[in-house]
Amino acid sequence: MDFELTDDQERIRRVAREFADAELGNAIAPYDERHEFPHSVVRKLGPLGFLGALVPEEYGGAGLDYVGYALSVEELSRGDASVGITMWAHNSLCTNHIAGFGSEAQKRTYLPRLASGEVLGAWGLTEPGAGSDAAALQTRAELRGGEWILNGSKAFITNASVGGIAVVIARTDPGKGSRGISAFVLEKGLPGFSAGKPYRKLGLHASDTAELIFEDARVPAANLLGERGMGFVHAMQVLEGGRIAMAAMAVGIAQAAIDHSVTYMKQRTAFGQTLAEFNGLQGMIADLATEVEVARLLTLRAAYLKDQGRPAMHAAAMAKLFASETAMKAATKAVQIHGGAGYITEFPVERIFRDAKLTEIGEGTSEIQRLVIARTILQLV
Ligand SMILES: Cc1cc2nc3c(=O)[nH]c(=O)nc-3n(C[C@H](O)[C@H](O)[C@H](O)COP(=O)(O)OP(=O)(O)OC[C@H]3O[C@@H](n4cnc5c(N)ncnc54)[C@H](O)[C@@H]3O)c2cc1C
């Protein structure tokens, strides 16, 4: 068993950490307050390779392995979770679906633009009436006169309004269940394709979440992504990697909660001593640090399995479940450690507390992760 990172993995973690320290954290707070997408900051991720993290070098990407990618998501999310989720949806979902299942022509057309950051990517599976039960999706794609005509909508889509390219999952063959679902790649500007107004959210205010809307959207036949009828199967494979990255995002959020708490505990005094000297608070920090380390190990193990080409769905679900619940717990304790200061926007733990909640919901809720884990253990799959 080897717990050492390679030189490349160490390097990518360092670059992400330095970027997060210099460009994220307090620098993103004003965007969060204004519910504004930080275009100028996200633009800087492209030249550093973070927007083509998993894209092979021949298509302009950084060609990272999953361990390196998970480390970079963790570090960027430690700096700011809005930037973390922006990068996650772009890489894990949109770009990865094209890289994994696109034709050679589609890869050459879309990947270099996504990897450079010329355009951001979105990925639409969830619908107003189909979230956890994704196979119940209703968005319809019909082949007419050599074009696919899409009708319906997608809900809660990250990068929907700021993105230029979207992978969309739609029903092509009603009556065939999950085998009647296909994927498409759409560009902004296609007739009948638009994004809704960004939602006002509990947290992640500096990230973009909106509807994708299809009103007789005309999509060229060549934009079918992967084989007809395989869209749902491919989407589930995309989610496997996506869950690992969402786990990494949760680890980053949890680590940030601890880091800010440690700083505060050393500064704040009560009863003639610093908070750091209170046994009760020491215990909280010790427990949290231990749980974050477990979450990190689960995440890196899932990433390692993915890198080895081994089945990772079970490990990814465990990592995502544990890391997201750890993030929420760490954020809650961090607010507690800050007392009243933790409840006001001036201190970063207030934002971290709001941001953490998404990790228990997005990319499959905790209940769905438990379902995935239990089905494997009980051999129900
Ligand atoms: C900020 C944000 C960003 C997102 N980004 C994207 C994106 O980029 N692309 C995308 O496609 N989607 C995205 N989503 C959607 C997200 O994946 C869904 O919200 C999530 O999968 C849950 O689906 P739902 O909201 O429909 O909840 P529901 O499925 O309606 O679930 C409601 C509740 O019922 C529980 N539940 C449902 N089924 C079961 C079951 N079988 N057993 C036990 N409990 C169950 C759930 O756990 C939950 O507690 C995003 C969501 C948010 C909030």
pLDDT, tens digit (0-9, with 9 covering 90-100), for 110-160: 999 999 999 999 999 999 999 999 999 999 999 999 999 999 999 999 999
> Is the C-beta atom of 124 inside 6 A of ligand 1?
yes
Per-residue pLDDT tens over the stretch 246-303: 999 999 999 999 999 999 999 999 999 999 999 999 999 999 999 999 999 999 999 9
Q: Which residues contact 271 (CB under 8 A, 6 or more apart)?
A: none
Quick one: how far is CA 299 from the chain centroid?
14
CA dist 74 and 201 (Å) reads: 22
How many residues would you count in the chain? 381
Shared fold status for 7-120 and 232-377:
no
The residue ranges of every structural domain in the chain are 7-120, 122-229, 232-377
Q: Please tell me if the CB atom of residue 135 comes closer than 6 angstroms to any atom of ligand 1.
A: no
pTM passes above 0.75 = yes
Chain centroid to CA 300: how far? 16
CB atoms within 10 A of CB 92: 29
Among 83, 246, 354, 361, name the best residue to mutate to test ligand 1's pocket (greatest count of ligand atoms within 8 A of Cβ). 361
79/48 Cα distance (integer angstroms) = 16
Q: Are 88 and 249 in contact (CB under 8 A)?
A: yes
* 3-state SS assignment for residue 44: coil
Cβ(89) – ligand 1 distance below 6 Å = yes
Ligand 1: residue of 181, 211, 253, 365 to mutate (most ligand atoms within 8 A of CB) is 365
> Does CATH place domain 7-120 in 1.10.150.20?
no
| 260 CA from centroid of ligand 1 (Å) | 30
Amino acid occupying residue 128: P
The confidence score (pLDDT) of residue 31 equals 97
Span from the CA of 16 to the centroid of ligand 1 (angstroms)? 29
**Nearest atom, ligand 1, residue 169 CA:** 11
Is residue 367 part of the annotated active site? The answer reads no
124 class by beta-carbon count within 10 Å (0-12 exposed, 13-18 middle, 19+ buried): buried
DSSP bridge partners of 273:
270
State what percent of residues in the chain have pLDDT above 90.
Answer: 99
Distance between CA 180 and CA 172 in Å, rounded? 6
Q: Is 380 exposed, middle or buried (0-12, 13-18, 19+ CB in 10 A)?
A: exposed
Q: Which fold does the domain 232-377 belong to in CATH? A: Butyryl-CoA Dehydrogenase, subunit A; domain 3 (1.20.140)
The domain at 122-229 falls in which architecture?
A: Beta Barrel (2.40)
Three-class secondary structure of residue 172 per DSSP? coil
